[in-house]
Structure 1
Amino acid sequence: MAAKQTDKDAAKNPDTAADAPDFADIAGMSYEQARTELIGVVQGLENPEAPLEDTMQLWDRGEALAGHCQKILDAAAAKLAARQAESA
């Protein structure tokens, strides 16, 4: 039987299934689209008067956008490395 998750446990692992935001729309974005939105997220995070809950939601979306951008960049780097290896 699984133990009940406490608030303290949730603070240690905020990405539980119940709390994890759904950013499925990000998966279909191009690098440029995700980067442009990420810039807007950063600008929103720089607003000192934004409510904490809004800031946390922006942070989560920014993390997802940054991860998506990194995945695209990693794939491009791997593709370039493979092409360089083929031509060597």
Structure 2
Amino acid sequence: MASETDVSPLSFEDALKELEGIVEQLERGDVALEESIKIYERGAALKLHCQNKLQNAKLKIEQIVLKQNGDVETTAADVEA
């Protein structure tokens, strides 16, 4: 069975949406301490998952840059993290 912090099957968009919900819950402060700890752990896993997805996307963009004549050139993209 997957742990409660296993976020690997989630898309970037789903993970980000869930993370936003967790932030809202924690900001409201209406969650019991033990539950806050559990959802904070989940939020940390979601944050890392989103960061990794963005990093992978950035690397793909850096590897696929079309030259004006249509040839593929490997180069670094000007994308900020």
| Same fold, judged at TM 0.5 (above) | yes
Counterpart residue number, 1:63 = 44
When normalised by structure 2's length, the TM-score is 0.73
Report % sequence identity: 33
Counterpart residue number, 1:80 = 61
Residues 23-63 of structure 1 show CA distances to partners (whole Å, capped at 9, x for unaligned) of 22x10110000001001110111122321111111110000
Larger proportion of strand: 2
When normalised by structure 1's length, the TM-score is 0.67
Larger proportion of helix: 1
Q: Unpaired runs of 5+ in structure 1?
A: 1-21
Query: Aligned-pair RMSD on alpha carbons?
Result: 2.0
Task: Report how many residues are paired.
Answer: 67
- Residue type matched to 2:29 in 1? P
Q: Unpaired runs of 5+ in structure 2?
A: 66-71, 76-81
